[in-house]
Structure 1
Amino acid sequence: MEYKQRDLVLVKFPFTDLTGFKVRPALIISNSSVNKSNDYLIMMITTQHIGGSFGIEFDNDDLTTPLKPPITKAYIYTKKLALLDKTIIHKKISTLKNLSKFQNIIEQHISSITLEVD
């Protein structure tokens, strides 16, 4: 199966210390120029509220297929990214249909990597 930007997928998301992984949902943020190599740049999704500016909330109204009950909302964790091979993706679970929400996610991530001059 081919996956696209804005797809929500179930993946083996690696821990930041690379000691293991957790199967969890993620948002594909890479575009087709990256995805055609069978690599996908993804952001972690969690149901836990994220404090600060790194979590962007979304709900079932933002998706093509709703989340499974009792979950009705979740958070994109914009600082938790991974580049994963297609074989690590278990399946597609939905698509983020809200384009302005996706734009906010990308802008939030970009703001976390802007150049800082000492």
Structure 2
Amino acid sequence: MPSTMPYRQGDIVLVSFPFTDLSSSKRRPALVLSPDSFNAAGEDLVLAAVTSQITDDPNAVPLWQGHFAEGGLPKPSMVKPTKLFTMHSSLIAKRIGALRIEKMEEILRSLRRFFS
């Protein structure tokens, strides 16, 4: 059953991530990007895809086990700030970890660079 717990910026959650052409979806981790004030005020979250496919994408930010304040991922991964989506919090399967604040700040800087 999907969780209805409040999610925080920096949480890693498990979701059915939609393909960009909406033809299908794949269960994978995602990072909560939206600020806590936004998350608490409504039921939607802004998420970024997380992948274990390590590439040289200049916009992607690497994630290693040491970047987590709690929980984690089974393999080194990358946050893809160019793969963003909004999802109702009831559709999240579960919370699987939370990033350290320093790593979250690095990801937000990457996102700002991408949109500037």
TM score, norm. by length of structure 1: 0.87
> Highest CA radius of gyration, 1 or 2?
1
The equivalent residue for 2:28 is 24
Question: Aligned ranges for residues 1-118 of structure 1 at < 5 Å?
Answer: 1-36=5-40, 37-63=42-68, 64-68=70-74, 71=75, 73-97=76-100, 99-114=101-116
Query: How many residues align structurally?
Result: 110
- TM-align CA RMSD: 1.2
Give, as a single letter, the amino acid of the residue that structure 2 aligns with 1:9: V
**Distance of 1:52 and 1:74 partners within structure 2:** 12
Unaligned runs of 5+ in 1: none
Give, as a single letter, the amino acid of the residue that structure 2 aligns with 1:58: L
1:86 positional shift? 0.8
Three-state SS of the structure 1 residue aligned to 2:8 is: coil
> Residue deviations 1:72-107, cap 9 Å, x none?
x1110110000100122000000002x222111111
Give, as a single letter, the amino acid of the residue that structure 2 aligns with 1:21: S
The sequence identity of aligned pairs, in percent, is: 30
**Distance of 2:18 and 2:91 partners within structure 1:** 10
Which 4+ stretches in 1 moved above 3 angstroms? none
